[in-house]
Structure 1
Amino acid sequence: MTKNIIGIDLGTTMSAIAKLNELGTPEIIPNSDGERIMPSVINFSDNSLLIGMEAKNSAADDPSRVAKEFKREMHNSDYRFRVDNKEYIAHELSGMILKKLAQDASEQIGEIKDVVITVPAYFKENQRNATMEAGKLAGLNVIAIINEPTAAALFYSKESNIQGKGIVYDLGGGTFDITMTQTNGNNIKVIASEGDSKLGGVDFDKVILDLIKEKYKDQTGGELCSDAESVEEFSLMAEEIKKSLSKKPSLKKKLRSASGSATVEISREEFEEHASILISKTEMLLEQLLDDTDTNPSEVDYVLLVGGSTRIPAIRESLKSIIGKEPLNAVNVDEVVALGAAIKAGISMGELQPAAVSPGIKSGLSNLVVQDVANHSHGTIVVENGREKNVIIIEKNTLLPCTEEIRTSLMHDDQTSVECIITQGEGDDPDYVDIIDTYHLTVSLGAKAGEELRDIYSYDENQIMHCKTIHLLSGNYAESSMHLKAGKSSTQVENSGGNPLDEFLIE
């Protein structure tokens, strides 16, 4: 029996869901309000959740009840959104977004269960695990995770027949990724990625907000944003101004606040001047990517744009000045990631459940193959000459899936336990890498210093790590599969691990 083939772009500010039709072509599924992309915003209203554009537009009424931009906190075990004496962590809130998308889509096309969800290329291990956990909370079976730029490249490749070496430039609402790919026929191979998980459209919005606050104060002597409600109100206005300045050189806005009214004019030129630091950050990461891959800009065959913030003219001009060619404009930059995720879902379902994929979809995908890379190095901490050192086992930009190993040894006679530390990051200084998991290997009594240990790291297509340490003489081993370690909310603790999404009606 065939199933719905579904891909989801779980975004910081906007999300979307797509399916594969019977010909293997991806299509966006609008939500219950007819929106093709939905704001990733939640308004907690009594025992129901208002999610999407209405929640976004109501944020100024009572900001304390509105959760947004929580995707940026997927790594943060201390993050809590507090409302009605309850707490929610980032992946729980993300689960609410996913449940809304799936709920609305299922009303149109039937049951939705197996999905592919996208993540920023520069997401770390705990963020990827948290995303998968969000899917589980939403009642979904996450068959794969795919990097957002890779999903976009997959869609562009299928729809535009791109060939050669290219750059996927993904400036979304909250994150920035830049990825180099090599496309040959139906084979898409990721070469390398760079990124910043705290750089996106909301940061450009803040530039506009700061500008209008300054202009208002110059005219009235007062503060434009005097409370949380006014911050939300004028943040929405700043976003609209940013979008307008992508189409026109300047515009005027009438501002009303406690200190009176003022009409301010904002030009594209002054916006771009004030946003130059943000644009410079993207340029530095692009230059780093070119340097890491030993690529001359003239060797780049195409540039693909992803994310609404790539509509900012200065972004496109910056790209053209470095690469020397115009980016492709063949697709909707807001939808391309979800569409690519649906294609990835078709590929994954064809491998996992071939009977669930219709002949038309199998034909439409025509043996597409996508290979991603490890976006961060992974290793372990060892002691050499009395000092701790981070030893990289899987290097950044290694093609996936992969398995690598190193040999270490026991430090002392009669050692009974080995602390196995999994690290993520570059360099050999333990102070500059993240410890993402620790597990312990028990060693038999009578062990001698110098007996060999074997550390085996496997990294799968979802960029989820599986680690195993073996004491070779005894055969004893310990392992870790990087289960979620993003923290528990008080809601989960009180309910003994119950699903916090079950208590709400989602609208």
Structure 2
Amino acid sequence: MSEEIAIGIDLGTSTSCVSVVQDGQPLVIPNEWDETTHASCVSFLEDGSVLVGNAAKRNIITNAESTVYSAKRLIGRYFFSDEVKKAQAVMPYQIVEGENNAVRIAVRGETYSLPDISALVLKEMKAIAETYLDRPVKKAVITVPAYFNDNQRQATKDAGRIAGLEVLRILNEPTAAALAYGFGRDVSQRVVVYDLGGGTFDVSILEIGKDVFEVLSTAGDTYLGGDDFDDRIMTWLADDFLKRTRLDLRQNKYCLQMLKDAAERAKIDVGSTGVADVLCEGICQDAQGKVLDLEARLTQDQFNRMVMDLVQRTFKVCDEALQSARMTAADIDAVILVGGPTRLPIIRNSVRHYFQKEPKEGINPDQVVAMGAALQANALMDSATETFLVDVTPLSLRIGTVGGYTEKIIDKNTPVPIDRSKSFTTSRDGQEKVKIRVYQGESNRADECEMLGEFEFSGFRVGYRGEVKIDVTFEINTDGMVNVSAEDPETGQKTSTTLTMSSGLSEEDIQRSIQANQQLQLAGHGEDLPAAAPRRGR
């Protein structure tokens, strides 16, 4: 292995994790408190410093308006999207609109992009690794949900750059989990990775041979995760309290935060012991000023009934992945569960019933993705490590056509890297520029797909309508991100290509964010590579 080291980071919706390969084995790196999973949470303090991780999560109630969490559900999205509207209704922090319909977070008089927020979490993972390894870390593989679109992947890569990391690769989370599962095993199996995280759900089907990991298909739902299970409990608690007191706790964001915290604890308790006793002391006051407590008992049967439709939604995605791979559940050799919510008995039992086999034991669902990312990082740094990884693009690539429709260029679940070309002709005499809108999605209607951007091509020969031919090549790289080039085949002249990402950051924005990020003081941190382990606000 070369002297320079690279780490793997699982940047999750609820929690994040960092890993490295040492002595040929993936190791999950703990912080100085021996914590291996860290809340993907950022709390901005009055003195200008910032808490990140588990210490920040403890500020969700006491510093609600200045503590940002679940940012991954918003990254790379448009301000007008359903997910952003939902977040605005329940999040205590302020979500505002930036340029080009981008999402921004307003905190203590400053405005931050979603990559800025995620960069702080990544910077904390980097600092944890540097403290443990006692050396600088500049390179990383970062994981994303398999169903992330190009905007979301680019925003995640931007976050890595802002955090001071060279992102070697953006790796799909289920693929990372399969890498960790197959590492060191001489197996030949078809494996399904059922990945239910805090904010997203993915399922991928892979074929594992000796040092070869081939993704056969992937499918997902970026609007489904453990947070949605919490929301069901929150609604149940709020409705019961409203029925008994005629007070709606959802009208106050402070009360809403107490509800969310109680709901998350209840989900964990009911999953581990079968019952959860909920107590929120002093959650609000009535009209007479009397302080009221919230008390409730949630049984496993009640919980199962309130979330069963969410569980069933995951298997519709499994159906889609199996169909795309031209397989049935009986063709699967092993099932790997990823993500904290997969510890819930209702998930494990439902997965067992669907696939007709026991999920693999001995795999930590919170750590396996980071370990796989570390293995991939190590392979990219060490030419002697032979691991052949074939991934797929999760979404079809399309071009907008007249009337608000789209034309498919690259099918979903096509192995990457891939490039495809399409020929276009000019639509009017003397035309000097051509504008083409590029989308990702499965609908032939443009408004039902995600627009990646609008490309403008120029520099080709000027002629009569339909006379000038332009070859446009669309390439999806190993990070799952789209690149475009254009050429006039008659002259061999390559045209200029300009992509405007509606929810991304310009190079100028990124450089500005890098400088601002360097000036932000992480509470408890000194230099980039501290001589002694820093205390992170515990």
TM-score normalised by length of structure 1? 0.91
Shift of 1:478: 2.8
Aligned residue in 1 for 2:400: 381
- Structure 1 residues 483, 168: CA separation in 2 closer, same or farther (over 3 Å shift)? farther
The residue number in structure 2 matching 1:434 is 450
> How well do the aligned residues superpose, as a CA RMSD in angstroms?
2.3
Structure 1 match to 2:229: 204
Question: Secondary structure of 1:423's partner?
Answer: strand
Partner of 2:296: 264
Q: Paired residue for 1:155? A: 180
Contact kept? 1:31, 1:101, Cα under 8 Å: no
The answer to whether 1:28 aligns with 2:28 is yes
Deviation, structure 1 residue 445: 3.1
Deviation at 1:120, TM superposition (A): 0.5
Partner of 2:161: 136
> Which residue of structure 1 aligns with residue 205 of structure 2?
180
User: How far apart, in 2, do the equivalents of 1:415 and 1:348 lie?
Assistant: 45
Deviation at 1:11, TM superposition (A): 0.6
Distance in 2, matches of 1:6 and 1:312, equals 30
Q: CA 1:445 to 1:492, structure 2 compared with 1: closer, same or farther past 3 Å?
A: closer
CA shift in 2, pair 1:318/1:66, >3 Å = same
- Match of residue 238, structure 1, among 232, 243, 263: 263
Distance 1:265 1:474, change over 3 A: same
1:261 & 1:433 partners in 2: Cα distance?
A: 46
The letter for the 2-side match of 1:36 is: T
Q: How does 1:330-369 map to 2 (within 5 A)?
A: 330-350=362-382, 354=383, 362=384, 365=385, 367-369=386-388
Is contact 1:156-1:162 (8 Å) kept? no
Partner of 1:83: 107
Contact preservation (8 Å) 2:116, 2:513:
no
Tell me, yes or no, if the aligned pair for 1:44 and 1:50 is still in contact at 8 Å: yes
Give the aligned partner of residue 503 of structure 2. 486
1:476 to 493, 497, 505: 493
Match of 2:391 in 1: 372
1:57 paired to 2:73? no
Q: 2:27 matched to 1:8?
A: no
Counterpart contact for 1:126–1:436, Cα < 8 Å: yes
| Counterpart contact for 1:62–1:229, Cα < 8 Å | no
Q: Could you list the per-position Cα deviations for residues 157-214 of structure 1 after superposition, in whole angstroms to 9, with x for gaps in the alignment? A: 1155553222100001111111111112221101111111121111111112222223
AA matched with 1:132: K
Amino acid at match of 1:65: S
Shift of 1:423: 2.0
Q: Which amino acid aligns with 1:403?
A: D
Unmatched segments (≥5 aa) in structure 1: 355-361
Query: Tell me, what secondary structure is at the counterpart of 1:499?
Result: helix
Find the aligned partners of 1:114 and 1:338 in 2 and give their Cα distance.
14
Match of 2:68 in 1: 67
The residue identity in structure 2 corresponding to 1:409 is T
Question: How far apart in 2 are the matches of 1:317 and 1:118?
Answer: 27
Q: C-alpha distance in 2, partners of 1:173/1:338?
A: 15
Tell me the equivalent position of 1:406: 422
Distance in structure 1 (CA, Å) of the matches to 2:266 and 2:516: 37
- Show structure 2 runs of 5+ residues with no match: 78-100, 287-291, 524-538
Pick closer, same or farther for the CA change 1:484–1:381 going to 2, 3 Å.
closer
Q: What is the count of residue pairs matched by the alignment?
A: 488
- Deviations along 1:230-281, one digit per CA (max 9) or x if unpaired, are 2222311211111111122223233333352353211011111011221121
Distance 1:222-1:434 versus aligned 2 partners, 3 A rule: closer
- 2:473 is the counterpart of 1:456: yes
The amino acid across from 1:410 in the alignment is: T
Query: Amino acid of the residue matched to residue 125 of structure 2?
Result: L
1:96 to 87, 95, 120: 120
* Residues 94 and 444 of structure 1, relative CA distance in 2, 3 Å threshold: same
Query: What is the deviation of 1:451?
Result: 3.0
Cα 1:480/1:33, change in 2 over 3 Å: farther
Say which SS state the counterpart of residue 375 (structure 1) adopts: coil
What is the distance in 2 between the residues matched to 1:82 and 1:388? Answer: 34
8 Å CA contact 1:182–1:191 kept in 2: the answer is yes
Worse-matched range after superposition: 187-196 or 256-265: 256-265
What's the offset of the Cα at 1:413?
A: 3.1
Return the alpha-carbon distance in structure 2 between the equivalents of residues 306 and 123 of structure 1.
17
The residue type paired with residue 415 of structure 2 is L
Which segment drifts farther, 32-41 or 337-346?
32-41
Q: SS of 1:247's equivalent?
A: helix
Provide the C-alpha distance between the structure 1 equivalents of 2:407 and 2:441, rounded to a whole number of angstroms.
10
Whether contact under 8 Å (2:472, 2:487) holds in the other structure is: yes
Q: What amino acid maps onto 1:35 in structure 2?
A: E
Out of 305, 308, 312, the residue aligned to residue 276 of structure 1 is 308
In 2 relative to 1, CA 437–221 (structure 1 residues): closer, same or farther, beyond 3 Å?
Answer: closer
* CA deviation string 1:120-178 (max 9, x = no partner): 00100011001110011001100111000000000001155553222100001111111
Residue 44 of structure 2 is aligned to residue 44 of structure 1: yes
Shift in Å, 1:487: 4.7
Counterparts of 1:120 and 1:481, CA distance in 2: 27
> 1:243 and 1:159 mapped to 2: Cα distance?
32
| Residues 31-40 or 135-144, more deviating | 31-40
Check conservation: 2:217, 2:322, Cα contact below 8 A. no
Instruction: Quote the residue 1:292 is aligned against.
Output: 324
CA distance in 1, matches of 2:180, 2:499: 30
User: 1:506 pairs with 514, 522, 528, which one?
Assistant: 522
For 1:334 and 1:196, locate their aligned partners in 2 and report how far apart those are by CA, in whole Å: 19
Distance across 1 between alignment mates of 2:440 and 2:512: 31
In the other structure, the counterpart of 1:317 is 349
Q: Check whether the contact 1:130–1:484 (CA below 8 A) recurs between aligned residues.
A: no
Name the aligned partner's letter for residue 124 of structure 1.
Answer: N
Task: Pick closer, same or farther for the CA change 1:220–1:388 going to 2, 3 Å.
Answer: closer
Give 1:327's aligned residue.
Answer: 359
Indicate the SS of the match to 1:275. Answer: helix
Equivalent pair of 2:49/2:521 in contact (CA under 8 Å): yes
Structure 2 residue matching 1:169: 3-state secondary structure: strand
Corresponding position: 1:108 with 2:132: yes
